[in-house]
Amino acid sequence: MKVAALQSVLYWQDAQKNRDYFSGLIADNGDADLIVLPEMFTSGFSMQAEAITEPADGPTLPWMQALAEKHDCAITGSVAVNDGARYVNRMYWVTPEDYTYYDKRHLFRMAGEHNHYHPGKSRKIVEFRGLRFCLQVCYDLRFPVFSRNRDDYDVLIYVANWPEPRRHAWSSLLTARAIENLSFVIGVNRVGEDGNGIPYSGDSAIIDFKGQPLASGRPHEPESLRATLDKDALMAFREKFPAMLDADAFTLNTD
């Protein structure tokens, strides 16, 4: 499967400008099977939920659907959404045929995200063209129990606005998640500076199931990372090194 991870700048709280920008990037990578955008890609990581959220049915969702159909690919990334009586950080997963979503479970307390958005409860696994994907958002990366592979996915995706001062944690944890879960990992982070003056270095990566990079983003530079995910190689390694058979059983309480 061909993957394109779009490490990009974001225009602060300007949804239309961001959609226009990503329309061009998606067209440039239209031969990919999967295109991954950053967290809150229509606004940047803003806590002004009342000002930036949009209804669950648009306008970003139909925009994603039209592009997924046009380029015959899956597109994913998160958007600030007003879901009736609550605000959520919603990661849409859109294919030419349908869509689903995952609402960010772990809200970033240090920025007050938990005071402005409602947490999701259940993780989301989706299947597309022979691979199974687990959808995660930014701060979820710090909580390995939530992302533990129960032999139910092949690829972990993290979309993020992860600030530059903690870039070492971002890169280290992406690699750890790949190794411990015997899974490909796609981590897509933004670059530039947001409306609060917070810098982002990107450091996006596509990593294989051994923790080896398939593609790495240049710090501070917008770019499209490209890689091919080889399911046969993944399955062969899991058969040779079935560490998941020795994993501890547990029950996850998300109440």
User: Got the DSSP string for 186-201?
Assistant: EEEE-EEE-TTS-EEE
Q: Are 61 and 27 in contact (CB under 8 A)?
A: no
Handedness of CA 90, 95, 100, 106 (dihedral sign): negative
Question: Is-catalytic flag, 39?
Answer: yes
Q: Which of 2, 17, 39, 97 is catalytic?
A: 39
Q: Would you state the pLDDT for residue 250?
A: 86
Question: Is-catalytic flag, 104?
Answer: yes
Q: Which of 73, 113, 134, 138 is catalytic?
A: 138
pLDDT band, very low/low/confident/very high, at 253 (cuts 50, 70, 90): confident
Q: Read off the amino acid at residue 121.
A: K
Nearest to 94 by CA among 41, 147, 50: 41
Q: Would you state the pLDDT for residue 50?
A: 95
Say how many C-beta atoms besides its own lie within 10 A of residue 72's C-beta: 12
Question: Is-catalytic flag, 138?
Answer: yes
Provide the percentage of residues in the chain whose pLDDT is more than 70: 100
The residue to which tokens 């990334």 are assigned: 77
- How far apart are the C-alpha atoms of 10 and 28, rounded to whole Å? 18
Residue-wise pLDDT for 31-60, tens only, equals: 999 999 999 999 999 999 999 999 998 999
